[in-house]
Structure 1
Amino acid sequence: MGCKLPMDGHDLVLCLLLVILSMQVLQVPVVASLRPPAMYVFGDSTLDVGNNNYLPGKNVARANRSHYGIDFPGIPTGRFSNGYNTADYVAKSMGFVSSPPPYLSLLASPSSSLLVLTALTTGVSYASGDAGILDSAVQYFKTTKANMVSTLGSRAVNAMLSRSIFLIGVGSNDMFVFAVTQQAQNRSAAEQQSDVAAFYAGLVSNYSATVTELYKLGARKFAIINVGLVGCVPRVRVLDPAGACADGMNQLAAGFDGALKSLLAGLAPKLPGMVYSLADSFGLTQATFAHPEASGYTNIAGACCGGGRMDAEADCLPESTLCANRGHYLFWDWVHPSQRAAMLSAKAFYDGPPQFTSPISFKQLAHKI
C-alpha cells in the first residue's frame, strides 16, 4: 500500500498507520501473549454500548439518561448498566481498554475514515438493544469489511479478521417475544409443543446462517454467550405474587441453549479453521442463585434502579431511587445485570471454572493461533 500525496493531516496519519498494520499482518508472526487484533460484537442490550442512541423513533429503548452510567463514572453512554457491561469486561480480559465503539457512532462521525481506522485497530460493536438473531448486524459488518478491504486490501484484512474475536450474545429478546405471544393465545399442550419446536428450528436456522455468513466474511474465532435464566429477571419475577422465577421461560431458554450447543458442535467440522468458545450464562446464573453470598450478592431478585415492588415494576429513570450498594445487586434494572455481575460473568467465561465454557475458554480462544 502507498500513501498518495497531497493529503490532509488526518488522512496522512491514517495512511501511515495502515502501512504499519499491513506490514504487521503480512510479515510478523503472532505472539500468543498479545491481544487479538480486534473484536467485533454482535448482540442485544446486554452488549450494546450505545448503538441504540442513534436509532430513530421515540419508542426505541435507550440508556442515554441517568442513572445509567452512574459508575462509568457518571456518564450515560447507552450501556444498559450502571457502568461497564459484559462486552466491556470480555474486551478488557483480552487486552482492550473496553468494548469497541458502536457502529452507528462511527457512521455519525464527520470523518469518513474513522470507521475503517477503528475497525482495523480495535474493532466495532454492532450490538443493539432489542436485537434478535441477528437482524441487520451482519450486513453492517459486511459493509464495514468492504470499506476495510478498499483501504488495506483483502489479503491483509482477511489475515487480521482470522485472528480477531467475534463476540456474540443474543437470543433473550426472542425468548421474551415468544413467551408473550404464547400467553396471549389459547393453545393446547400439543399445539404449544409444536410451537416451541418451530421456534427452536427458526432460531437455530438463523443462528447457523449468521455464523456461516460471518465465517464467509473472514471470521474464525467465535466467543458465544448462550441465553441465561430469562425467567428470573426482575421484570418477570415481579409478575409472580411470591416473586418466583418463571420456570417455563427458563425451560424455553435451556432448550434453546442445548440446540445452540449442538449447532456449534456440528458447524465447526464443516467450516475449516473455525474455533469457538461457548459460554454458559445459564449455568453460571444457576450457580450464582444457588450460592449468592459466594459472589457477594445480598439481592438476586430485585432491581437496584427502578420502581414499585422489587423495584421491577418500572424502568430505571432519573427520578428512581437507587439501592444502597450497587455492588451487592445482581440486577441493575428490571432486565439487565449490574456492572459487577457483568464483570464476574466475563471473568468466569475468560478463565474461570471449566464448566462455564466449552470446548475451550475465552482465554484459550483469544490465544489460539
Structure 2
Amino acid sequence: MKGLVVVLLGLVIVSAIGASSADVRRPVVPAMFVLGDSTLDVGNNNHLPGKDVPRANEPFYGIDFPGGARATGRFSNGYNIADFVARQLGFERSPLAYLVLKSRNYLVPSALTRGVSYASAGSGILDSTNAGKNIPLSKQVQYFASTKAEMEVVWGSRKVSKIIANSFFLLGTGSNDLFQTRPKSQADVAALYATLVSNYSAAITDLYGMGARKFGIINTGPVGCVPRVRLLNATGACNDGMNRLAAGLAAAIKSGLATTLTTTRLPGLAYSLADSFAGSRANFKNPQATGLVNADSACCGSGKLGAEGKCMRNATLCGDRDAYAFFDNVHPSQRAAELSAQALFVDGPTQITAPISFKELAHQR
C-alpha cells in the first residue's frame, strides 16, 4: 500500500473559499522543498531500479495533466496536492523530482529558483517501510543535504542560507508505516508511535540544522477509508481499526512535534500542522456538500469499488473524474487534491491547521 491519505482534507470548509486553485502569481517564498510519499511524489520513483518499485508511469495516470495527457509519475489523473500547495504559494506547480533534476544536470538552478521534490511513493518515516522500493524519509533528508552542498558551491553559503531559511518545506508521510505494521497489543502500538514520532522529529530537526525554518506538515489521515481497505469489508465500509490506529498516530505526531518544534529548542522555527484526519472524517459522510459524488470508490481500476485492480491502460475509467474523491484505489483525484490544498491555506475559525495556517506560515518573515 502506498500513500498518505490526504484526500478530502477538510473539504467541508472549502465551499467558503471557492473551488478554483489559486492563480499563479509571483511566489511568496523563494523555493519549495517537498519530502514525503506517493501523494506528493512527482516522478522520483520513475527513476528507481527494480520491478517492484511503485510507479505511476503509464495511462491512465496523468490523463488530465495540464498541457497534454501524460503520465508524469504522479499518482493522480493530473496534479497532486504538492502541485496545488505550490500554486497557492505562487508557483506553476510542484518543483521537479530530485532524480529527474539530477538526470538533467539541472538540480542547482531549480533548487535556487523553484525548489526540489524528494517525495517517493511507498516511503515512510521508517527506513524499513517497503524497504528497497522507495526513497525513505531519512534518505530524502540526505538528498536535501547534498542539494544544499551543491547550491553553496555555486552561490556561497550566505546566499543559500537565506534562500533556505525563507523557503517552504512541505512534508507528508506516515501512512505507509501503518500499512506495513500489525501491532498486536497496546504496548506494541505505543512503541510504534514512539518510534515514528522520534524518527519524524529527528528528520525535521536535521532539516532545521541545515537552515530550514518553515515547515508545512500534513498529518496522517483516515487510511481505513481508502477503497483498497474498504474492499476488505463485505459492506464496503471504512475499517475502524485502521482509522483508530491512524488517529492515534496523528495525535502522537501532533503532541510530539509540539514538544520538539518549539522556539526555545529550535529558535526561529515556524510550522503548520494539518489535521487531515479530523478534517476528513465528516466529509466521507456527505461528499456531495463539496461537489464530490463518490467518496468510496476508485475512478480508475476494476472490480468492486474499482479497487480490485490497478489503474492502468486497460482498467475501467470513470467518466467524470472531478466527481470522485479517489482516482485509484489509494490516492486522491486531482479535484480532491485541489480542495485539500485550499483547505490548508484557510485562516480563521474554520481552519484545520495549527498553530497557524499554511498561508500564515508562508508569509512569515
TM-score between the two structures when normalised by the length of structure 2: 0.87
Tell me, what secondary structure is at the counterpart of 1:243?
Answer: coil
Quote the residue 1:312 is aligned against. 307
Quote the residue 1:247 is aligned against. 240
**1:358 partner letter:** A
| 2:150 maps to 1:147 | yes
Q: Structure 1 CA distance, aligned partners of 2:77 and 2:59? A: 9
Q: Give CA deviations for 1:227-276 in whole Å, capped at 9, x if unaligned.
A: 11100000000010000111111111111111111122112321000000
Q: Where do residues 198-347 of structure 1 align in structure 2 (5 Å cutoff)?
A: 198-269=191-262, 270-347=265-342
1:130 alignment partner, one of 118, 122, 125: 122
**1:118 partner letter:** S
**2:174 partner letter:** G
1:52 alignment partner, one of 30, 45, 63: 45
Q: Structure 2 CA distance, aligned partners of 1:204 and 1:158? A: 27
- 1:34 Cα offset (Å): 4.9
Q: Structure 1 CA distance, aligned partners of 2:257 and 2:85? A: 20
Q: Structure 2 CA distance, aligned partners of 1:79 and 1:333? A: 11
Q: Which has the higher helix share?
A: 1
**2:108 partner letter:** V
Tell me, what secondary structure is at the counterpart of 2:341?
Answer: helix
Give the RMSD, CA atoms, in angstroms: 1.2
- 1:313 Cα offset (Å): 0.7
> Aligned residue pairs: how many?
324
Q: Structure 1 CA distance, aligned partners of 2:27 and 2:81? A: 21
Q: Of the two, which has the highest radius of gyration? A: 1
**1:130 partner letter:** G
Quote the residue 2:57 is aligned against. 64
Q: Where do residues 17-96 of structure 1 align in structure 2 (5 Å cutoff)?
A: 34-72=27-65, 73-96=68-91
1:177 alignment partner, one of 167, 177, 180: 180
TM-score between the two structures when normalised by the length of structure 1: 0.86
What percent of counterpart residues are identical? 58
Q: Structure 1 CA distance, aligned partners of 2:194 and 2:40? A: 25
- 1:211 Cα offset (Å): 0.5
Extract unaligned runs of 5+ from structure 1.
Answer: 1-32
Contact 1:172 1:227 in 2 (8 A): yes
Q: Structure 1 CA distance, aligned partners of 2:96 and 2:350? A: 30
Extract unaligned runs of 5+ from structure 2.
Answer: 1-25, 126-136
Q: Structure 1 CA distance, aligned partners of 2:337 and 2:278? A: 15
Quote the residue 2:94 is aligned against. 99
**2:266 partner letter:** L
